Amino acid sequence: MQHVGMIGGSGAQNEQIVGQHLRLDREAAGGKLRDSEARYRRLFETAQDGILILDAVTGAITDVNPFFVDLLGYRREELPGRAPWEIGFSDNADATKEGFRRLMVELSVRCDDLCVTTKHGQVIPVEVMGNVYWVNGVEFVQCHIRDITKQKQAERIEERRSQAQKMEAVGQLAGGLAHDFNNLLGVILGYCEILIDGDGVTEPARKMIDRINTAGISAKNLTQHLLAFSRRQIVQPVVLDLNEAIERIHPMLERMIGGRVALKQLLGAGLGSILADPNHIEQVLMNLAINARDAMADGGVITFETANVEADAIYGLEHEFVAPGGYVVLTVRDTGTGMSQETQTHIFDPFLRPRSWA
């Protein structure tokens, strides 16, 4: 005899079975959600970028990860409830507010070249990426802040390398021209010596030959600077007193700049000695004086000032090529029109002589 099994039951039993399945599904979904939240939290806490979670309405910080706290030197409890533009790590609160408003409109904003200031005043270059998210119907803002200090340092190194290559090319050209010019000057000065000692040279002619000889010697000195620039002439630094160098060249500078421009000295007492090539120092002083004179068409005052200074560790952090210690500072000021922004970007270019300083 064959028996047929039937699957079935009362309505209450079916509802109980369905309820059990729903409960199991909810528990499974809840477990997955908790796992997902745990993974996100681990990523949030261990991320090597600063992460800020902001209220989408007020912009107030609702959460912040440890990397951001360490980056800016704040305590974690100092930040929640305050908007980024209220804390001070942005040097432009209005721009930060405008960036937040822009983010809420565009939903995603990237800024590649910003700076933040730590609680202790250190300025750090950063890259910021902001996004607007919705989770369970709730809107919030997440901002990633990446420290790009190393990237900026690498860019500066590459820029200096490129500039060094350009300067090397200019130096080779200058050196070649200086050698050729020096040879021609040798001929000119040689004939001047022959003529000035010759018989039958009248006194007016002798004076003219002497002026030619003086100009030739000055030109020869200039070629030495070109050769030094091209690194084909040995620079000869010596221990010298900067005050004495300024006083020594002062009379010549007065003749060069003319009577409409006054030359003033404020030389520090007990000035420390420096190691430098005296010819280079004189050339620097002459160039600064001539450029300052050109900036004062209606006359004015050029001031040379020297002083001893002490560079501390904080100064060294802001100026990477200056080690802490004692230094001698030379300051040159004038009452002229000043340099344009474009000129300032080229002030260390060789042979720069701007037509206008306005």
Reported as a single tens digit per residue, the pLDDT across 69-83 is 888 888 888 888 888
pLDDT of 17 > 70? The answer is: no
Q: pLDDT tier at 19 (50, 70, 90 boundaries)? A: low
Domain that holds residue 134: 47-147
**285 and 190 belong to one structural domain:** no
Q: What is the pLDDT, as a whole number, of residue 204?
A: 87
Residues 5-13: contacts with CB under 8 Å, at least 24 apart: none
Q: Within a domain: residue 134?
A: yes
**317 and 335 belong to one structural domain:** yes
Residue 257: phi and psi, rounded to 5, are -85, -15
* Dihedral angle sign, alpha carbons of residues 252, 256, 261, 265: negative
pTM of this structure: 0.45
Q: Within a domain: residue 21?
A: no
Supply the DSSP symbol for 257: H
| CA dist list (Å): 49 to 37, 129, 155, 325 | 19, 11, 20, 36
Report the alpha-carbon distance of residue 305 to residue 137 in Å, rounded.
67
Q: Within a domain: residue 3?
A: no
Question: Of 147, 179, 213, which marks where a domain is finished?
Answer: 147
**290 and 256 belong to one structural domain:** yes
Question: Of 178, 209, 229, which marks where a domain is finished?
Answer: 229
The dihedral over CA atoms of 284, 287, 289, 293, expressed in degrees to the nearest 10, equals: -170
The total number of structural domains in the chain stands at 3
Q: Within a domain: residue 42?
A: no
Helix-helix angle 242-257:278-294, to 10 degrees: 40
Q: What is the pLDDT, as a whole number, of residue 357?
A: 40
